[in-house]
């Protein structure tokens, strides 16, 4: 009986969108993310408004920030199986689906935020990256910047050497973990919802992420010391359920894809401003910010730069995508 019930529920997930279209009812598109009041949340709001207007109510987008639909791994699984229609977050969380999603974690790819945006929107690289996961139930819809990498810690960190021996939360991707190991610290992949309690309890010493995340989640209340290394860039990706997308009529498929691209391209300046405002808000809230001097920054980059090629060379398909990324980096300088 349990197996019959499960089969019925799975069947309902697949057929519900089709029934909605057949009846002319609005198709509900649930989008989830783990954060709040950052570029991920802003992307969802802009996309929802655009879809509501341009689909003339045929698609109703519901947005759920702050992990209301569950922790990140659960949201990704739900998107794959069509229980929800999309997830917005760092592509590194998808490295368990396809290891190639981690390539954007490579240190030293971009000379500045404008260059990063040009690379992310480069047609050749963008299309290749968004196509990842198609055989695992995912369709990429958008790619955009989040913010430069930084560390926050419970105790003062004024140099890279101060990170040695620390337990540092990272995204669950080998490229991020190898960066921490290179700094003689211990990488700790951990769901976002567990990070704040771990910092409070001292089971984590530090977090590697970026200022929009730190500021939005008020990490300054437990880890006010920020080291702005900016050695890499954290990006954000929107993936939607391929099963749900394939059930749409062609005109709505085109609208979803076009809207995803437009919002991803149009959110750049908002993201830049959010980074600037994040640093200002951090100090106003009592946080401290340290930046490396040019010599120390050069030494850090010399230490971390080789990791991109080293880590991605282990699989031919990942090596090929990293080469496509490097080509876009060179063409858009």
Residue 15 predicted with pLDDT over 80: no
CATH number of 2-323: 3.40.190.170
29: number of Cβ within 10 Å: 24
Residue 7 predicted with pLDDT over 80: no
Confidence (pLDDT) at 20:
43
Residue 17 predicted with pLDDT over 60: no
Indicate the burial class of 186 (C-beta count within 10 angstroms; 0-12, 13-18, 19 or more). Answer: middle
Residue 26: pLDDT band with limits 50, 70, 90: confident
Distance CA 259, CA 6 (A): 35
Confidence (pLDDT) at 6:
39
Residue 315 predicted with pLDDT over 80: yes
Residue 24: pLDDT band with limits 50, 70, 90: low
pTM, to two decimals: 0.90
pLDDT per position as a tens digit, 27-75: 999 999 999 999 999 999 999 999 999 999 999 999 999 999 999 999 9
Distance CA 288, CA 77 (A): 38
Residue 21 predicted with pLDDT over 70: no
Residue 10 predicted with pLDDT over 50: no
Three-state secondary structure readout of the chain? CHHHHHHHHHHHHHHHHHHHHHHCCCEEEEEEECCCCCHHHHHHHHHHHHHHHHCCCCEEEEEECCCCCCCHHHHHHHHHHCCCCEEEECHHHHCCCCHHHHHHHCCCCCCCHHHHHHHHCCHHHHHHHHCCCHHHCEEEEEEEEEEEEEEEECCCCCCHHHHCCCEEEECCCHHHHHHHHHCCCEEEECCHHHHHHHHHHCCCCEEEEEHHHHHHCCHHHCCCEEEECCCCEEEEEEEEEHHHHHCCCHHHHHHHHHHHHHHHHHCHHHHHHHHHHHHHHHHHCCCEEEECCHHHHHHHHHHHCCHHHHHHCCCHHHHHHHHHHHHHHHHCC
Report how far Cα 139 is from the mean position of its chain's Cα atoms.
15
Interval 151-177 mean pLDDT: 97
Residue appearing with tokens 């996961």? 133
Boundaries of every domain in the chain? 2-323
Distance CA 171, CA 159 (A): 22
Mean per-residue pLDDT of the chain: 93
pLDDT per position as a tens digit, 97-153: 999 999 999 999 999 999 999 999 999 999 999 999 999 999 999 999 999 999 999
Indicate the burial class of 288 (C-beta count within 10 angstroms; 0-12, 13-18, 19 or more). Answer: middle
Interval 231-255 mean pLDDT: 98
Residue 18: pLDDT band with limits 50, 70, 90: very low
């Amino acid at each position: 009986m349990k197996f019959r019930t499960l089969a019925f529920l799975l069947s309902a997930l697949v057929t519900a969108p089709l029934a909605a279209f057949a009846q002319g009812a609005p198709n509900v598109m649930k989008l989830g993310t783990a954060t709040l009041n950052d570029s991920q949340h802003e992307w969802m709001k802009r996309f929802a408004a655009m879809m509501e207007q341009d689909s003339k109510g045929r698609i109703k987008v519901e947005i759920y920030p702050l992990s209301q639909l569950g922790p990140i791994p659960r949201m990704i699984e739900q998107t794959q199986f069509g229980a929800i229609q999309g997830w917005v977050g760092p592509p590194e969380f998808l490295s368990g689906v396809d290891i190639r999603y981690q390539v954007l974690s490579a240190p030293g790819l971009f000379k500045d935020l404008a260059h990063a945006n040009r690379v992310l929107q480069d047609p050749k690289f963008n299309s290749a990256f968004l196509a990842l996961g198609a055989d695992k139930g995912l369709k990429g819809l958008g790619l955009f910047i989040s913010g430069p990498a930084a560390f926050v810690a419970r105790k003062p960190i004024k140099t890279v050497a101060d990170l040695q021996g620390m337990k540092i939360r990272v995204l669950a991707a080998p490229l991020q973990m190898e960066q921490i190991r290179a700094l003689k610290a211990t990488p700790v992949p951990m769901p976002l919802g567990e990070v704040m309690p771990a910092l409070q309890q001292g089971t984590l010493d530090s977090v590697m992420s970026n200022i929009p995340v730190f500021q939005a989640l008020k990490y300054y209340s437990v880890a006010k010391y920020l080291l702005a290394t900016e050695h890499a860039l954290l990006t954000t990706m929107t993936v939607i359920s391929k099963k749900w997308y394939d059930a749409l009529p062609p005109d709505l498929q085109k609208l979803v894809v076009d809207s995803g691209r437009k919002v991803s391209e149009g959110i750049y300046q908002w993201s830049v401003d959010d980074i600037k405002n994040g640093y200002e808000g951090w100090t106003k809230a009592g946080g401290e910010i340290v930046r490396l001097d040019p010599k120390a920054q050069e030494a850090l980059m010399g230490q971390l730069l080789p990791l991109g090629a080293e880590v991605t060379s282990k699989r031919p398909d990942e090596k090929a995508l990293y080469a496509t990324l490097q080509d876009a980096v060179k063409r858009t300088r």
